[in-house]
A and B are shown apart, each in its own frame.
Chain A
Amino acid sequence: MLLLVVLPILAAGGLAWLVRGEGDRDAPARVVAAAAARLPAYRQDWGRAMVAELTQIHGRSSRWRFAAAMLRVALVLQSRPRRRVPLGRRVPLAACGGLILTAAVTAAAAARVPDLSVFAAALGLLLTGYATLAASRSQRPHLTLPQLIAGAAAFAGAAASITAVTRIAVAHPPAAADRTHAFSVLFAIILTCYLALTQTLTRRGGHTAAVLWWGLTGALASGAAWSIAALSLPVSTDGIAAWPWPVGATATLAVSVGAAAACRSSGAGIRAGMLTTIFGALLHFTIDLTALLHLQHYTLTSTYDIAAYPRSGYPDIASYILSDQVAGDILAGLVLYPLSWLLLAALGAAAGAGLRQLTARHTRAAPDRSRPEPPASHADTQRRKPA
């Protein structure tokens, strides 16, 4: 609900900022300047070329058409041109290896925990697709240390959450039954996205090591808070449901503010907040389901559940409660809460970067690297006299 209210406000604010005139610059000029500013450093000359070219275009519609075209060009130029490289054996190896592994894991799941066989197949196929895509995109897979650590942490988190669900499926098979397979596929998609996202967040944008450590620290802090809550407080049949949002929100906000201020970059703050969100969501999922699985007595407390349980078809109350909690944790704990935390990460990163600039301005520290460097004069750039 928060997202539905805040996102349109932010979007409207952004549009209003773009469209308003400022001094001698009209809205198309602001759009082109914003597009040029988003270009990578090695394309900055082309950004300046676009800005300069717009000064020669007259007429409102022509200027808007040019601005729209430059937005498209800026999007295209975000990525470096990929060299066509021989794929060799990596792609067929990744595809065949992944498919064989998927078949083996699905067969094992079908034999031991049949209710999770669809999930195993979906996760295996998605990871195979991701591995094949990654193999086809680079000549030689080169992982940096932050990427390796982030990948290991995300893999451990995903494995822990799968283990928690598997333990529930083994102890209470009806709780893991998913007739439509919707939750099985959704769970597999979420885990694959989380794994892929951690790799992207620690590969691009600079400050990767700092982003990783901030993200991990935030997730571990929130994981510690949830563990203490699960161990010290009586766990109800709602799990530790009262805790996930405030703890995760506080950790994400603190991490994004801290990382943005420390790295002097709002992008680094957002990425650190996203990592906290991903690792934290996986930790909460695991802790919540594990705590609930260890309950001695399962009793229905809400009037809705008391009325719904006899018609639910579940053979016992434990299966009913656990099934409800698994579905709730997948939808809320892995999708909805993280989305709202991401919004907080963006706000926190903006606040952290602004705070840093404010502090630097007040202390007048020298040299002040938080301020953007002035644009190079035309004399600094490659200049040739037209014939």
Chain B
Amino acid sequence: MTRVRRPSAQTAAVLQALAADPGRWRYGYDLCIQLGIRAGSMYPILIRLADRGLLETGWESQQVPGRPARHLYRLTAAGRDYAASAAMAAVAPPQATAARRLRLRPEGA
């Protein structure tokens, strides 16, 4: 069984926000506002996810006069799988901790 490497708390939050509505394209700054993550942290996270093929990027198709097209993001199929695995890994306690709890539990408890 392959082990899912646990992402950082901020990366996990971004993944969950994107996975909440996987078909919807999102803007980077809107994610910053929603999650309370600074842009200086958000963009490296998005870039890392895109580099790993977990994030699909695109540009706005409708031209708005006076401003350039904005960049859009949504999870790829691999990204959705990863987000689900990461969410499960976050819920499940680490095996070593669980085993230690079992050992420490008094007999008959």
Contacts and interface: CB of A to CB of B under 8 A. Distances in A.
- Judged by DSSP, the binding face of B is mixed
Interface stretch (B6-14, B23-31, B78-86): B23-31
Contacts of B68: 48, 51-52, 55, 378
B44 interface: yes
A384 interface: yes
Interface residues of B, number: 29
Given A76-B44, A382-B59, A386-B61, A53 B27 contact: yes
B51 to A, nearest CB: 6
A45 B71 contact: yes
A50 B46 CA distance: 12
B19 to A, nearest CB: 15
Contacts of B58: 382-386
Most buried by A among B39, B40, B71, B74: B39
In the complex, which range does the number of interface residues on chain A fall in? Answer: 20 to 34
A228 to B, nearest CB: 55
A56 interface: yes
A73 B40 contact: yes
Given A52-B68, A383-B58, A386-B60, A68 B27 contact: no
Interface string B43-74: 11001100100001111110100011111101
Nearest to B74: A387
A46 B45 CA distance: 12
7 contacts: A49-B57, A53-B39, A56-B27, A65-B39, A69-B40, A73-B43, A382-B59
Given A378-B63, A387-B24, 5 more contacts: A55-B70, A56-B27, A378-B59, A382-B57, A383-B61
Interface of B: 23-25, 27-29, 38-41, 43-44, 47-48, 51, 56-61, 63, 67-72, 74
